[in-house]
């Protein structure tokens, strides 16, 4: 398989001869082998594991995104990705950076929703006057 990890602003990684991929989806862990049927899967923040012919497993911490498998090509599109450190360090980075961003994003969305609803209420009250 050919594995490509895309970020919003660049190609993070492009590997050929990948024999196995494991990612985390909203339904749990999801594995891909070369002859798996084509599919699309939403990804949660987690660890992407892949293995190439004759090499050890490689780990990448990824943020939320989507995986698309079409023929021998597997494309993973995520907001952030990190590699190059040990698995234990990746898990710590994942918890500190990606999951804390999700909490911040939720707070921002709640604040935005409150502002929008306040604006709509005020606008509606102006029309009733």
Q: Which residues of 61-83 are buried (b: 16+ CB within 10 A; e: fewer)?
A: bbbbbebebeeeebbbbbebbbe
User: Do β-strands 46-52 and 73-78 pair in parallel, antiparallel, or remain unpaired?
Assistant: unpaired
Q: What is the pLDDT along the chain (129 residues), one digit of tens a residue?
A: 999 999 999 999 999 999 999 999 888 898 999 988 999 999 988 889 999 988 888 999 898 899 999 999 999 999 888 886 677 777 777 666 666 656 666 677 677 777 777 777 776 777 666
**In the 3-class helix/strand/coil scheme, how is the chain assigned residue by residue?**
CEEEEECCCCEEEEECCEEEEEEEECCEEEEECCCCCCEEEEECCEEEEEEECCCCEEEEEECCEEEEEECCEEEEEECCEECCCCHHHHHHHHHHHHHHHHHHHHHHHHHHHHHHHHHHHHHHHHHHC
Whole-model pTM above 0.75?
Answer: no
User: Do β-strands 2-6 and 73-78 pair in parallel, antiparallel, or remain unpaired?
Assistant: parallel
């Amino acid at each position: 398989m050919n594995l490509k990890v895309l970020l919003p602003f660049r190609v993070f990684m492009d590997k050929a001869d990948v024999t196995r991929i494991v990612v985390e989806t909203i339904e749990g862990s999801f594995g891909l082998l070369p002859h798996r049927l084509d599919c699309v899967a939403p990804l949660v923040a987690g660890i992407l594991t892949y293995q190439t012919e004759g090499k050890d497993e490689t780990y990448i911490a990824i943020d939320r995104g989507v995986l698309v498998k079409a023929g021998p090509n597997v494309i993973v599109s995520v907001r952030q990705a990190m590699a190059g450190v040990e698995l234990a360090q990746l898990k710590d980075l994942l918890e500190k950076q990606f999951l804390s961003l999700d909490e911040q994003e939720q707070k921002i969305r709640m604040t935005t929703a409150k502002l929008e609803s306040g604006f709509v209420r005020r606008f509606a009250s102006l029309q009733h006057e």
